Chains A and B, each alone.
Chain A
Amino acid sequence: MSAPLSGELAQIGKSVVVKGELSGSEDLYVDGQVEGTISLKGNSLTVGPHGQVKASVEAKGVVVQGKLDGNIQASDRVELRKTATVNGDITTQRISIEEGAFLKGKVDIQGRAEAKGATTK
């Protein structure tokens, strides 16, 4: 599967390993390894099929195709695709989980105001 095409998209490829704090104001596609925290308050994170993320994530939208260990706080939407493995709690306004996805953790659906508040704490 290829990375989504977008004018404002940063990519972390399969062979890249990042440790530390990631923040930004553009969408991020991670197909490598990230350990730490990811903060993209008005933008989206996509964890690609080869992506392995060990981080707490704050973003507008989060799509997981690979593995994510850590809590997700999304002000808009979370999508777990069929190959996703997520170990952590999810707080979001909307969620979509494909058959076959694996989740160990909590799902907490919050209203618009609550979800926005959660990502701006």
Chain B
Amino acid sequence: MKFFRSGSGGTETAAAEPALQPTRRSSGLAELTRRWETEETLCVLDLGSTSPGNIRHFTGLGHRIYSEDLLTASTEPNLLTKDEQGSVILDSRQFLADNLVYPAAHFDVVLCWNLPDYLDESLVRPVVGRLWSVLKPGGMLLAFFHTKDAGPDSPCYRFHIVGSDALEMQRIVMRGDSRRGPASTVRPPAGDGFQLQRVFNNRHIENLFRDFASIKFFLARDNVREVLVVR
């Protein structure tokens, strides 16, 4: 099943690349764009794989960008532990000791992309809790969630901002690079990429972000719900 549609728009960067990547329109991004084009010196946290394009985008606008690849960080073997039933899980305390270590109320914008759908179950709530604390009151978080129609084998993408409402999508391929954490997760990545862990419905999503002040859904045509939450 083809998950994301190819589209037009925001192809400046794509045109410069040797291989064209698919792009998609993002209503959530469009809403955020209005914010970062009108406000000065925002603190932005990008939780996807390091994206030179996103770093260039935000630094070009005079904002500060922080880059942290939580999905790759979740593959660190030292996170493996067992719960009371003896099942193998990831140690969320250790994970939060090693990652997302920022002062409280530090960020204006957090770009989660599709992280919650691919992150191990044991880390999802702790990570969202930490994101709440590092966001400023009024700060915004953008996340993408698959609908069940997307199918279980939906590939994991990284997202590069290529326009005010356009994202270029690049399929994530795990590197066999020990510096970045070997691929020994509780649920190992499927093939050379990460595996969709679950599908949240609207109620699950509302529950996940229940501590936030507001939540807005954008249902896209490519089996994705975009969610923009405000602390």
Contact = CB atoms under 8 A, between A and B. Distances in A.
B203 interface: no
Contacts of A102: 49-50, 69, 179-180
Interface string B84-125: 000000000000000000000000000000000000000000
Contacts of A107: 55, 58-59, 64-67
Interface of B: 49-50, 52, 55-56, 58-59, 62, 64-69, 73, 179-180
B180 to A, nearest CB: 6
Contacts of B62: 109
Nearest to B59: A109
A98 B52 contact: yes
B193 to A, nearest CB: 16
A71 interface: no
B124 to A, nearest CB: 20
Contact of A108 (B56, B64, B68, B180): B64
A105 B67 contact: yes
Contact of A97 (B52, B58, B179): B52
A104 B55 contact: no
Given A67-B179, A85-B180, A106 B52 contact: no
A106 B65 contact: yes
Nearest to B160: A99
Dominant SS among interface residues on chain A: strand
A99 B175 CA distance: 13
A95 interface: yes
A104 B69 contact: yes
B59 A101 contact: no
Nearest to B64: A108
Interface in A54-90: 67, 85
Nearest to B70: A104
Contacts of B58: 107
A103 interface: yes
A103 B50 contact: yes
Nearest to A89: B66
Nearest to B170: A99
A102 to B, nearest CB: 5
Interface string A91-121: 0000101110111111111000000000000
Given A95-B55, A97-B52, A105 B66 contact: yes
